[in-house]
C-alpha cells in the first residue's frame, strides 16, 4: 500500500500517545565504554532510544594536578602539563610557559618563537586528524579512518621525538625559549611533511566530506546555537563551528602569531558536521602558518641566556609577587594557566583553564532529544581528553 | 562606576576589581549587557586561598569588541564562604563554580546543581585549601621505617608505632584468610 507523506504523518500522530507511553530507563554510559574516550560516565535517562536527560560524571582520573604543582618549583610542573591533554603536550607547554613569562616578564629569542609556533601548529595537525579519525570510529567506521589519520600522526610524532626526545610527553618548552635547538635536517623533514600533508587531506576529505552516511549522521545533530556557545564559555573549533569568531591567535596575537596570514574558518549551523568541517579547514590554515614560519625562521639562540642556568637550579627561580593569566588557542579551545606568585620558588596558586572540561558544560543541551547513538558522536565531536577534563 | 551603582565599594588590586559579594551579579550583568563593554565571555573562575580570606576570581572578555580581560574578584571569609552564583548570567560558570566549590569550599548560592565534580560524594574537606592535610601524608610502611633506620634517619615514634600497627594488621588479615585447602 502506498501512502502519501501527510497520511503517514497522520498515522504516526495517531500512534504517538502509545509511543510516549514507554517506560523511562536510566542507563550509565561508561565509565568503561569505548565511546567515552577514557573514564567518563554519562548518566542518561532514556525513553525508548531518545535521550531525556544526561548528566556527565567525571573525576575518575582526578589527581589534583593543581595541588601537586603548588608544591613544586615552577619548572618542575612543566613536564606535568604534558599529562593534561596528552595528545597536545606542546600546546600545554606553550600556555604554561606564556603564563610564567608574563608573570616574570621574560623575553623570548626570535628563533625560539618560531620554533614554538611550528611545534604548536604541528600539534594542531596531530590533534585534528586524530579527532576526525575517532569521530568516524564513534560513527561505526571501526578503526580504518583512525589508521589513515595515525599514519600521518606518526610522521609528526617522529619529528617530536627527534626534537624533544619523546613522542607524546614532549616537555620541550622552557621559560624564555625551548629546551634545545632543532637537530640538523629536521627543518627539511618538517618542510617535507608540510608539502605532503595537503595530499593526505585531499584523500581524507575525498573519502569523508561528501560521504552520504557521514552527512546523514552528522548534519543537524547536536546543534549548538550561537548565543548558548557564547554564554557557556565554549571555545575552540566547537565555538567557531557555531559562528563565534574568536580565535586567540588572532585576538591576542601571542608569541608571533600576528605576523602570519591565516583565516579563521567559521561554521553556520553549529552541528557535528560543522565541527568536523571546521577542523579540516583549520588544518589547511595551520599548514599555511607552517609554510610561512618555515620560510622566515631565523638563526640564533633558542633560550634566553639569563634563564639557561635555570634547568640546573629550578628552585632559584622566584618570580616577583603578583598574578598572571596566560592563554593560548590550543587545538581544543582556550587553554590557560592562572598563576599567583608570592615570591617563593613555588606558585601560591596554579589553576588550569581546561578547554575540554568547560566545553562539556553544554553536553546535556546538545544531546537532549537525540538518540543514544547520536549522543556518542556528539561527545566525540566535542573532542575531550580525560587527562585534561579531570586534571 | 560609583555613579552607576550607588553604594558600591570597589578596590583595585593587581589590575582586578575587588567587589562585595552582593554586588557581583549586578556588576557582571551590567558589564555583559552594556554597549560600552560587552564583556559577554566569562573565561575562567578561580578560587584562591589567601589564608585570611578566600577569593573567587573572574576573567571576563568581550567576543564582539575583542577586548579583555577585566578581572573581578570577590573576597569572602574562610569560615563563611558564600558568593552568589553567576550561572544565571553566564552558563559557562556552571562547571567552574562546581570545581571551585569542590576544591575550595566556596558555596555559590543559587547554583542549580552544586555538587562535587571531581571528588566523590561524601568526601570530606577541600583539597586545595592551604590547611588541607592529605590522608596519606604521614603514612610509612614498616619496610620504609627499616630502610630509613638503616640509613641513620631518625623516625618519629608515632610514625613508627603506626607502621608497626599496619604491619600487624596485615599479618592478622593474612592469618584469617582461608588457605586454598580449606576452600
**Could you tell me the CATH number of the domain that includes residue B78?**
3.30.460.80
DSSP code of A343?
S
Q: Which domain holds residue B15?
A: 11-109
Domain check: are B92 and B140 in the same one? Answer: no
Output the CA–CA distances (angstroms, integers) from residue B181 to A62, B170, B173, B174, B175, in the order listed.
41, 21, 17, 15, 14
Q: What mean pLDDT is predicted for residues A43-68?
A: 86
Out of A67, A234, A334, whose CB is closest to B128? A67
What is residue A179's three-state secondary structure? coil
Chain B residues near any Cβ of chain A (below 8 Å): 14, 40-44, 46, 48-49, 57, 59, 63, 66, 69, 90-96, 99, 103, 116-120, 127-128
Task: Let me know if residue B77 belongs to a domain.
Answer: yes
Q: What mean pLDDT is predicted for residues A329-340?
A: 90
Specify whether the CB–CB gap between B58 and B45 falls below 8 A. Answer: yes
Q: What mean pLDDT is predicted for residues A150-157?
A: 90
φ, ψ for residue A262, nearest 5 deg: -155, 160
Count Cβ–Cβ pairs < 8 Å, chain A vs chain B: 78
What b/e string do you get for A228-264 counting C-beta neighbours within 10 Å, with b at 16 or more? Answer: bbbbbbbbbbbbbbbbbebbbbebbebbebeebebeb
Average pLDDT, chain A: 85
Q: Can you give chain B as a three-state secondary structure string?
A: CCCCCCCCCCEEECCEEEECHHHHHHHHHHHHHCCCCCCCEEEEEEEEECCCCEEEEEEEECCCCCCCCEEEEEEECHHHCEEECCCCCCCCHHHHHHHHHHHHCCEEECCCCCCCCCCCCCCCCCCCCCCCCCCCCCCCCHHHHHHHHHCCCCCCHHHHHHHHHHHHHHHHHHHHCCCCCCC
Residue B165: partners with Cβ closer than 8 Å, 6 or more residues away: none
Q: Cβ separation of A66 and B91 shorter than 8 Å?
A: no
| Report for A366-370, B11-15, B130-134: range of highest mean pLDDT | A366-370
Q: Cβ separation of B46 and A349 shorter than 8 Å?
A: yes
Q: Cβ separation of A327 and B43 shorter than 8 Å?
A: yes
CA atoms within 13 A on the CB side of B61: 22
Which tops the pLDDT comparison, A2 or B8?
Answer: B8
Cα–Cα dist A348/B48, whole Å: 9
Domain check: are B93 and B145 in the same one? Answer: no
Q: What integer pLDDT is reported at residue B7 of this predicted model?
A: 59
Q: Cβ separation of B103 and A66 shorter than 8 Å?
A: yes
DSSP code of A319?
P
Domain check: are B99 and B140 in the same one? Answer: no
Q: How far apart are the first and last CA of chain B?
A: 78
Task: Let me know if residue B183 belongs to a domain.
Answer: no
User: Nearest chain A Cα to B55, which residue?
Assistant: A349
Out of B48, B63, B69, whose CB is closest to A325? B69
Task: Write the pLDDT tens digit of every residue in A14-53.
Answer: 555 445 566 788 888 878 777 777 788 888 888 888 888 8
Q: How would residue A1 be classed by pLDDT, with cut points 50, 70 and 90?
A: very low
Q: What integer pLDDT is reported at residue B146 of this predicted model?
A: 83
Task: Write the pLDDT tens digit of every residue in B79-94.
Answer: 888 888 888 888 888 8
As for the ipTM of the complex, it is 0.81
Q: Cβ separation of A58 and B118 shorter than 8 Å?
A: yes
Task: Let me know if residue B125 belongs to a domain.
Answer: no
Domain check: are B56 and B139 in the same one? Answer: no
Q: pTM score, two decimals? A: 0.84
B interface mutation test: which of A84, A231, A246 has the most B CBs within 10 A? Answer: A231
Task: Let me know if residue B116 belongs to a domain.
Answer: no
Q: Which residues on B lie below 8 Å from A230 (Cβ)?
A: 40-41, 63
φ, ψ for residue A59, nearest 5 deg: 110, 0
Residue A227 is placed in which grid cell?
Answer: 548565543
Output the CA–CA distances (angstroms, integers) from residue A233 to A88, A266, B2, in the order listed.
21, 17, 29
Task: Let me know if residue B152 belongs to a domain.
Answer: yes
Domain check: are B137 and B70 in the same one? Answer: no
Q: What mean pLDDT is predicted for residues A169-190?
A: 88
Residue A317: partners with Cβ closer than 8 Å, 6 or more residues away: A73, A74, A75, A104, A175, A307, A310, A345
Task: Let me know if residue B182 belongs to a domain.
Answer: no
Domain check: are B74 and B156 in the same one? Answer: no
Q: What integer pLDDT is reported at residue A184 of this predicted model?
A: 86
Domain check: are B160 and B70 in the same one? Answer: no
Query: How far A102 CA lies from chain B's nearest CA (Å)?
Result: 14
Domain check: are B26 and B83 in the same one? Answer: yes
Q: Cβ separation of B92 and A231 shorter than 8 Å?
A: yes
Q: Cβ separation of B41 and A246 shorter than 8 Å?
A: yes
Q: Cβ separation of B119 and A62 shorter than 8 Å?
A: yes
Task: Let me know if residue B118 belongs to a domain.
Answer: no
Task: Let me know if residue B3 belongs to a domain.
Answer: no
Which class for B143: exposed (0-12), middle (13-18), buried (19 or more C-beta within 10 A)?
A: exposed
φ, ψ for residue B140, nearest 5 deg: -120, 145
Choose the final residue of a domain: B94, B109, B124.
B109
User: Nearest chain A Cα to B60, which residue?
Assistant: A233
Counting the structural domains of chain B, the total is 2
Domain check: are B104 and B146 in the same one? Answer: no
Cα–Cα dist A77/A97, whole Å: 11
Q: Cβ separation of B44 and A325 shorter than 8 Å?
A: yes
Torsion-angle region of residue B152: left (phi > 0), alpha (psi -120 to 50) or beta? Answer: left
Domain check: are B18 and B101 in the same one? Answer: yes
Out of A338, A361, A390, whose CB is closest to B94? A361
Domain check: are B100 and B157 in the same one? Answer: no
User: Nearest chain A Cα to B119, which residue?
Assistant: A59
Output the CA–CA distances (angstroms, integers) from residue A48 to A16, A27, A168, A320, B123, in the order listed.
13, 11, 42, 59, 35
Cα–Cα dist A32/A314, whole Å: 40
Domain check: are B47 and B98 in the same one? Answer: yes
Which tops the pLDDT comparison, A17 or A307?
Answer: A307
Amino acid at each position: 500500500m502506498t501512502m502519501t507523506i501527510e497520511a503517514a504523518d497522520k498515522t504516526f500522530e495517531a500512534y504517538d500517545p502509545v509511543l510516549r507511553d514507554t517506560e523511562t530507563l536510566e542507563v550509565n554510559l561508561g565509565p568503561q565504554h569505548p565511546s567515552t574516550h577514557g573514564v567518563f560516565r554519562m548518566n542518561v535517562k532514556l525513553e525508548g532510544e531518545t535521550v531525556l536527560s544526561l548528566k556527565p560524571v567525571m573525576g575518575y582520573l582526578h589527581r589534583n594536578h593543581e595541588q601537586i604543582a603548588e608544591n613544586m618549583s615552577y619548572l618542575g610542573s612543566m613536564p606535568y602539563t604534558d599529562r593534561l591533554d596528552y595528545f597536545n603536550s606542546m600546546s600545554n607547554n606553550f600556555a604554561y610557559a606564556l603564563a610564567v613569562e608574563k608573570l616574570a616578564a621574560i623575553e623570548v629569542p626570535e628563533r625560539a618563537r618560531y620554533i614554538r609556533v611550528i611545534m604548536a601548529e604541528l600539534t594542531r595537525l596531530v590533534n585534528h586528524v586524530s579527532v576526525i579519525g575517532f569521530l568516524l570510529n564513534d560513527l561505526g567506521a571501526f578503526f580504518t579512518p583512525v589508521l589513515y589519520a595515525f599514519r600521518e600522526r606518526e610522521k609528526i610524532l617522529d619529528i617530536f621525538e627527534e626534537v624533544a626526545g619523546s613522542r607524546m610527553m614532549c616537555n620541550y618548552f622552557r621559560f624564555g625559549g625551548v629546551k634545545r635547538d632543532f637537530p640538523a635536517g629536521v627543518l627539511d623533514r618538517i618542510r617535507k611533511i608540510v608539502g605532503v600533508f595537503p595530499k593526505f587531506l585531499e584523500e581524507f576529505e575525498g573519502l569523508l566530506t561528501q560521504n552520504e552516511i557521514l552527512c546523514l549522521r552528522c548534519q543537524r545533530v547536536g546543534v549548538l546555537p550561537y548565543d548558548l556557545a557564547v554564554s557557556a564559555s565554549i571555545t575552540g573549533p566547537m565555538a567557531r563551528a557555531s559562528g563565534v569568531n574568536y580565535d586567540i591567535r588572532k585576538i591576542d596575537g601571542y608569541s608571533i602569531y600576528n605576523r602570519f596570514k591565516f583565516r579563521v574558518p567559521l561554521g553556520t549551523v553549529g552541528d557535528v558536521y560543522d565541527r568536523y568541517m571546521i577542523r579540516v579547514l583549520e588544518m589547511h590554515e595551520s599548514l599555511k602558518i607552517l609554510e610561512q614560519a618555515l620560510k622566515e625562521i631565523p638563526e640564533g639562540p633558542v633560550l634566553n641566556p639569563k634563564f639557561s642556568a635555570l634547568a640546573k637550579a629550578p628552585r632559584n627561580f622566584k618570580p616577583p609577587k603578583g598574578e598572571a593569566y596566560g592563554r593560548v588557542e590550543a587545538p581544543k579551545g582556550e587553554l590557560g594557566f592562572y598563576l599567583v606568585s608570592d615570591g617563593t620558588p613555588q606558585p601560591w596558586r596554579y589553576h588550569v583553564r581546561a578547554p575540554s572540561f568547560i566545553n562539556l558544560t553544554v553536553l546535556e543541551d546538545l544531546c537532549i532529544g537525540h538518540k543514544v547513538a547520536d549522543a556518542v558522536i556528539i561527545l566525540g565531536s566535542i573532542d575531550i581528553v580525560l587527562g585534561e577534563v579531570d586534571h | 562606576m560609583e555613579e552607576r551603582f550607588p553604594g558600591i565599594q570597589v578596590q583595585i588590586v593587581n589590575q582586578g576589581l575587588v567587589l562585595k559579594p552582593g554586588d557581583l551579579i549586578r556588576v557582571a550583568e551590567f558589564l555583559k549587557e552594556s554597549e560600552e563593554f560587552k564583556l559577554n565571555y566569562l573565561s575562567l573562575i578561580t578560587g584562591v586561598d589567601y589564608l585570611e580570606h578566600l577569593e573567587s576570581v573572574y576573567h571576563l572578555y568581550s567576543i564582539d569588541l575583542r577586548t579583555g580581560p577585566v578581572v573581578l574578584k570577590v573576597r569572602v571569609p574562610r569560615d563563611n564562604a558564600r558568593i552568589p552564583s553567576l550561572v544565571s548570567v553566564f552558563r559557562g560558570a556552571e562547571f567552574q563554580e562546581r570545581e571551585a566549590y569542590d576544591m575550595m569550599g566556596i558555596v555559590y548560592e543559587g547554583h542549580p546543581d552544586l555538587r562535587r565534580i571531581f571528588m566523590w560524594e561524601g568526601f570530606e574537606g577541600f583539597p586545595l585549601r592551604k590547611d588541607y592535610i592529605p590522608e596519606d601524608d604521614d603514612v610509612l610502611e614498616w619496610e620504609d621505617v627499616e630502610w630509613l633506620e638503616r640509613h641513620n634517619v631518625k623516625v618519629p615514634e608515632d610514625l613508627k608505632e603506626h607502621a608497626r600497627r599496619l604491619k600487624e594488621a596485615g599479618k592478622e588479615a593474612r592469618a584469617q584468610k582461608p588457605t586454598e585447602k580449606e576452600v
